[in-house]
Amino acid sequence: MMRAHRLLIVVLLAGCGGARVASRPAPTPQPVSIDSLLGKLTPRQKVAQLVVPWLGGNYTALDDSAFQIATRWIDSLEMGGIIISVGSPYDIAAKLNVLQQRSKLPLLISADLEWGAAMRVVGATAFPMIMAAGATGDERDAYTIGRIAAIEGRAVGIHVNFAPDADVNNNPLNPIINIRSFGEDPHAVARLVRAYVHGLQEHGMLATLKHFPGHGDTDVDSHIGLPTIRSTYSRLDSVELVPFRAGIEAGAGVVMSAHIAFPSLTGDADPATLSGAVLTGLLRDSLRFHGLVVTDALMMGGIVTKYGAGDAAVRAFEAGSDLLLMPADPDTAIVAMLTALQTGRISAARLDASVRRVLEIKRSLGLFTHRQVALDSISKIVGSKAFQDAADDVAQRALTLVRDTSGTVARLRKTRGRMAVIAYGDELNSYVGQRLLEILRLGGDTVSFFRLWPMSGPLSYDSARVVIARAPTVVFATNVRPISSRGNIALPDSLARLITVTDSQRPTVLVSLGSPYLLNQTPTVKSYVIAWSGVRAAERAASRALLGWSPIRGKLPIRIPPAYPIGHGMVVTDSTVPPPRPPAHIIIP
């Protein structure tokens, strides 16, 4: 109990901006060499270095049961790393500092920061989803997303970004990749993957290429089931593998496997995560990747339902993985690995090779000398204005006008008037459409607003029709995006019908704050704009474009069948000057 009180005092002092947690001596002195350190570890300690459990980034007291589970991972199981999830910058950093202090060896902290640190760190910089960089076609944008994710992530104690997504999104029905990919052309994706990797790793964070050997041409969500890609090796070699080769040549430190079956590579229905032909034969031997191989989450439906927590971990390790990410039960995974070691199913030399890679990565990141972060520096870095401005810039240049056959967008850009904004998003995005509304009103439009949700019923849709009937022009702002275990990326049929009917009756603009493929459900819509994301920067870009304050220049990095090829996009440059900035007490969102 006294130890817990002392740790709490350290965290509170650091949070006040005075003391720095990092000033306390590390529990383990810097090793003379990886060899000597490796020789001191027991088999159980070695196995534990490879198991990476999930931890929420939200605030918890030191004696909270959730935090006690995490301290057990460190104190008893001696885990080598953690994947951290959503929390405030201070909560994440303080929690990780305490765990780093307790750990005998430095922890390797990872997170999914695909479109910036804001994906996990509340208040950090939120870029649009990375397909926006595909829409600008500018490698500097991919580099910037990686650079700022690295700076903000390292500020709160994260070392490995499970990004970029190197998948080629060549299937419009893909239920989980979509705008998480840079696009559909493998060579364009390769250029942007390379730049993103450089942006991360030149600023102290390891990049992860995922989902090897390619998750773009699937129509099943691997969080639910096991997708199968039946392409031949020659097709994989000329399409899916192109961005992975580029990322490996750029020096990416980590590759994440896909829970996808590739019969042409494996000869069976096993997922790539459990296939030696994929992770050792193809990745290690053919592509000559020498860094860390990490599984996708082992608790996902494509794996755990068939193999169980223990056998899945052992099979993934046998196939060539180093890090075992998010096993359904970390204890079971460790016991299964130790049993496999004792029975000779896996060799001591193979175990040592993976542990050596992990320890060398920790040394290269400087974690043996400085494993904690200074809380008093976080507010100077995370979410800074310069970073937010960079996100706004990318979002604005990525905005893509697919069509405007009715001239509604062109008219809105020139004149102010009355309109209705009907917003749609999932419950997690409770503010969808709000920034669009605020900026349109600030620009002089008279706007009525109504929000719909996935669970909205007939009465809600009747209310939306009432709002629509009173407005001469309607803007639908829809945030339809990849969400794990949902199984599809689509508008509700009732909303697609509402958009189609409204478009037939009055001037209508459909603004996609997510998936670019909404025309599949609303093929007759006359004005269609893609903002690629529901983050603040993307809504801001869409509203400024509708007000005529900024040009529209984005180009499709994917096809929208049947009419719109890669590279299509209407360029509109006749911008007007925004009004003078409002008084200081009025904040433009």
* Tens digit of each residue's pLDDT (9 = 90 or more) over 483-496: 765 667 999 999 99
Share of the chain above pLDDT 70, in %: 90
Cβ atoms of residues 499 and 508 within 8 Å: yes
DSSP code, position 415: -
Averaged pLDDT for residues 369-386: 97
**What is the length of the chain?**
589
Supply the DSSP symbol for 178.
Answer: G
pTM, whole model, 2 decimals?
0.91
How many CB atoms sit inside 10 A of residue 353's CB?
11
Cα Rg of the chain (Å, integer): 25
pLDDT over 90 at 398, yes or no: yes
Residue 579's pLDDT is: 67
The rounded distance, in Å, linking the Cα atoms of 152 and 136 is: 23
Of 228, 222, 230, nearest to 304 by C-alpha is: 222
CATH architecture under which domain 399-547 falls:
3-Layer(aba) Sandwich (3.40)
Is the pLDDT confidence value at 8 over 50? no
Q: Which residue has the tokens 């695909």?
A: 114
CB 133 within 8 A of CB 189: no
Query: 285-314, pLDDT tens digit by residue?
Result: 999 999 999 999 998 876 877 888 899 999
Comparing 27 with 282, the larger pLDDT belongs to: 282
Q: What is the pLDDT of residue 303?
A: 83
pLDDT band at residue 267 using 50, 70 and 90 as cut-offs? confident
Q: Which residue has the higher pLDDT, 477 or 22?
A: 477
Cα–Cα distance for residue pair 580/547, rounded to 1 Å: 14
For 21-45, the pLDDT digits (tens) are 333 333 344 544 899 999 999 999 9
**Cα–Cα distance between 266 and 274 in angstroms, integer?**
10
Average pLDDT value for residue range 58-65: 94
Q: Which two tokens stand for residue 386?
A: 């310069």
Judged against a pLDDT cut of 60, whether residue 586 lies above it is answered with no
Q: What is the mean pLDDT of the chain?
A: 91
The confidence score (pLDDT) of residue 16 equals 36
Residue 50: strand, helix, or coil: coil
Q: How far apart are CA 169 and CA 521, in angstroms?
A: 19
The side-by-side arrangement of strands in the sheet containing 527-530 is 400-404, 527-530, 508-512, 474-478, 418-424, 446-452
Model pLDDT, residue 2: 39
Amino acid sitting at position 267: G
Closest CA to 517 of 478, 546, 551: 478
Q: What is the pLDDT of residues 190-242, one digit of tens each?
A: 999 999 999 999 999 999 999 999 999 887 766 667 788 888 999 999 999 99
Please give the Cα distance from 379 to 189 (Å, whole number): 34
Q: Domain segments of the chain: what residues?
A: 2-381, 399-547
CA dihedral (189, 192, 194, 200) in degrees, to 10, reads -130
What DSSP string describes 480-546?
A: ----TTS------HHHHHHHHHHHHHS-EEEEESS-TTGGGT-TT-SEEEE----SHHHHHHHHHHH
Among 397-406, 435-444, 484-493, the least confident range: 484-493
Least confident of 4-18, 22-36, 41-55: 4-18
* 252 token code pair: 């990416």
CATH superfamily of 2-381: Glycoside hydrolase, family 3, N-terminal domain (3.20.20.300)
Q: Are 338 and 47 in contact (CB under 8 A)?
A: yes
Q: Quick one: pLDDT band at residue 11, thresholds 50, 70, 90?
A: very low
Chain segment 121-150, per-residue pLDDT in tens: 999 999 999 999 999 999 999 999 999 999
The predicted pLDDT at position 436 comes to 96
> What pLDDT is recorded for position 171?
92
